Amino acid sequence: MSFFGKIRDALKKTKDGVSAKMRQLFLKNKLGDAFYDELEEILISADVSVRTAEDVIDQVKEEAIGQKVKDEQFVTDLLKDILEDTLNEAPVPELTYPCVIMFVGVNGVGKTTTIGKVANWFVRQGKTVTVAAADTFRAAAIDQLGVWAERAKVRIVKHEDGSDPAAVIFDAVSSAKARGTDVVLVDTAGRLHVKENLMKELQKMDRVVRREWPEAQFLKYLVLDATTGQNAMSQAKIFDEAVELDGIVLTKLDGTAKGGFVFSLCGELKIPVVFAGVGEKIDDLELFDAEQFVEGFF
């Protein structure tokens, strides 16, 4: 199934809710303040933040000035264009090789599983991949990453649980560099309840990569559970402050009835969505497509 097909199915709950409310809005309201206020409420009900919803509606009003807007399709198309532009405010960094990608995020968002899927995606692009099991605080995470590495047919570097995560990254990066590996994917711990220590660990790992393989592209991707909605915004802010995020991977898009927070991530925080996970299988992850996401939303 194509990305659009997967996104369409994943966002069906959101689309059904938004579309029904839009139809009701057009039946009972003509263009005016009340119309735009309710349109803004529809966006907010789909988990678009108040700030982003206000910005989008202001743009819709501005575009509609002087035009004879008579039907639902005109406003819907205008809204789609503006929301797509919002997603594109944060351009995705172009991948260059070799590259090291460090995945961060709180426990439970599907970080380790996502790394397995991303590894598989790179293999499908013909790249050689090493994964680094630097979430050493959970033995289960090391074992789980090993299972995904086997499924994706990629190499894994791991130490005993409780080891220094930076030492795992050092070994992974050093060996990948020596082997001429294209991509290193790094798993990390996600214990936000010890925020200060966690962020120091992430920053230490950041320094190791930059020191040991300065010529490699180094990216930091935050893994977010789409079902958490606006809570994802606060997570993104915390991790962005610590390590300056380059992108976001969304998981569990197929399990949410509210996907609107994605517009706020890109519009307010200027962090692009790179990958979207829309299922449990190893191939159920694709590059994020702004146009198709918006089409799936309405």
Tokens 């919803």 correspond to 53
Query: Annotation-wise, does 128 bind a ligand?
Result: no
For residue 74, CA distances in Å to 58, 163, 183 come to 16, 58, 45
Query: Annotation-wise, does 146 bind a ligand?
Result: no
Which tokens in the block code for residue 55?
A: 């910005």
Query: Annotation-wise, does 228 bind a ligand?
Result: no
Query: Annotation-wise, does 279 bind a ligand?
Result: no
Query: Annotation-wise, does 189 bind a ligand?
Result: yes
Query: Annotation-wise, does 211 bind a ligand?
Result: no
Query: Annotation-wise, does 162 bind a ligand?
Result: no
Query: Annotation-wise, does 107 bind a ligand?
Result: yes
Contact (CB, 8 A) for 129 and 150: no
Query: Annotation-wise, does 30 bind a ligand?
Result: no
CA distance 259 to 288: 13
Query: Annotation-wise, does 43 bind a ligand?
Result: no
CA distance 275 to 126: 18
Query: Annotation-wise, does 245 bind a ligand?
Result: no
Contact (CB, 8 A) for 190 and 135: yes
Strand 273-277 and strand 285-287: the pairing is antiparallel
Query: Annotation-wise, does 253 bind a ligand?
Result: yes
Query: Annotation-wise, does 251 bind a ligand?
Result: yes
Query: Annotation-wise, does 181 bind a ligand?
Result: no
Query: Annotation-wise, does 204 bind a ligand?
Result: no
Report the binding-site residues. Answer: 105-112, 187-191, 251-254
Report the binding-site residues for GTP. Answer: 105-112, 187-191, 251-254
